[in-house]
Amino acid sequence: MILNITILAFGLLSGSQDQIIRRYGFISDQLFVSPSSISLSSSDILIRLFSSMFIHTNIAHLAFNTLALVYIGGYAERSVGILRYILIYILTGIAGALFYGAISIFVLGNNHTVLIGASGAISGVLGIAAAAGNIRAYYWLLIQIVFAIVGSFTAISIAFTAHIGGFIAGVLLTKILIIVEHKKRIKYLK
């Protein structure tokens, strides 16, 4: 969260927030279109997938993401350990962006929307908690699904599908970690 706060503070104080969003936000059609029409290199697209997780529009955007992280982040971190937590955070942020991009392009036909924010990654953290047995995390997912449906018919500019994609990725990655850990313990006991 420190990186998120620093980037937002720099952008707002320097007046360069819009430039940061344009330069480092993820744009779905740059990944999901034919290679001949891509204006960025593969490395630029990967950088945008990563950097978009650390950019927020304004203080309210960052505050809502921080509240969600405070809501259940500690539980998730204790459930999988700090290194796995960070790995899942990053992978689910990317997965959330990819899920958002696929839905945006192939279902909704929105080609040039810029995705920013840690929502996919934070949703992945909630996915860790859900996979570890914390039922409160599933309530959050249900709310996101309802908002995603409503948002697809209205002008709500929140990427609820990134939230859903990150959550699903968080649950799956955590379940895989649990299975691997279980197999290691069984092998160790034999």
- Given a contact cutoff of 8 angstroms between Cβ atoms, the answer to whether 99 and 171 are in contact is no
**DSSP state for residue 112 in the 8-state scheme:** S
Residue 168 CA to residue 163 CA, distance in Å, equals 9
Tokens in use for 40? 């960025």
What are the distances in angstroms from CA 138 to CA 74, 104, 123?
Answer: 16, 24, 11
Burial class of residue 175, CB neighbours in 10 A (0-12, 13-18, 19+): middle
Tokens in use for 31? 């990944």
Q: 165 Cβ partners below 8 Å, 6+ apart?
A: 95, 96, 97, 98, 99, 100, 103, 120, 123
User: Annotated catalytic residue: which of 28, 79, 104, 163?
Assistant: 163
Instruction: Give the number of other Cβ atoms within 10 Å of residue 115's Cβ.
Output: 25
Mark whether 119 is an active-site residue.
Answer: yes
User: Annotated catalytic residue: which of 119, 123, 157, 182?
Assistant: 119
- Point out the residues that are catalytic: 119, 163
